[in-house]
Amino acid sequence: MLDTHARKYVQPTIEKVARTFLKVGWSANHVTWGAFFIGVSSGVFVYIQQPFIAVLVLWISGFLDAVDGTMARLSKPSLWGTVLDITFDRIVEINVILGLAFAFPAAQGALLLLSVSIILSMTIFLTVGAVSEKKGMKTFYYQAGLAERTEGFILFSLMILLNNYLIGVTLLFFVIELVTAIQRLMEARRILSK
């Protein structure tokens, strides 16, 4: 929801950084790889009980993830870059979940439920993107929903920083992801049944 409706407020900054990176000769894929390595470190920092660093690197990777997409649109988007971007996003999320699961074993059941809801929501998202004739500004049809990447980062940040409430926040995230999956499924039926 925030990615869809609030992006216009941060896009000028994202675009400025993207243009700077392009000027120094970096490609969108270079930034995608950088965002990936920074992002996966978040789960490690969670595990070694460095929550503030974990959140900081998570958000830096998220910002760079937005920058790489803008760079691709300003230069030449590649389908391989899209695959890398989406795959690396999920690996970063998995790493955060694993870091939390190993650091806080009592929350593993809730984290497993969250993982299932993310898999379900992303399966619908990616399938609709693949079969839909509609295209957005990305290389595939982007389904908006209650939980997009920014909401996920906010909830992951709360899970990391408020680990005394980890199970509760994780279950809230689980419910939000399920609602998002249902939203996307209903939209898919509407746009693909025509």
Domain map of the chain by residue range? 2-192
Model pTM score: 0.88
In this prediction, residue 189 carries a pLDDT of: 86
Whole-angstrom distance, CA of residue 17 vs CA of residue 93: 24
Q: Tell me the mean pLDDT in the region 8-37.
A: 94
Higher-confidence residue of 76 and 25: namely: 25
Question: Is the predicted pLDDT of residue 19 greater than 60, yes or no?
Answer: yes
Residue with tokens 């690996």: 91
- CATH assignment of 2-192? 1.20.120.1760
Whole-angstrom distance, CA of residue 154 vs CA of residue 194: 36
Cβ contact 36:69 at 8 Å: no
Cβ contact 184:34 at 8 Å: no
Cβ contact 43:99 at 8 Å: yes
Q: pLDDT category, 76, cuts 50, 70, 90?
A: confident
Q: Please choose, from the candidates 158, 156, 177, the residue with its C-alpha nearest in 3D space to the C-alpha of residue 42.
A: 156
Q: pLDDT category, 42, cuts 50, 70, 90?
A: very high
Q: How far is CA 76 from CA 10, 16, 27, 29, 135, in A?
A: 22, 17, 9, 11, 16
Residue 5 CB neighbours (<10 A):
11
Percentage of residues in the chain having pLDDT higher than 90: 67
Average model confidence (pLDDT) across the chain: 90
Q: Is 162 in a helix, a strand, or coil?
A: coil
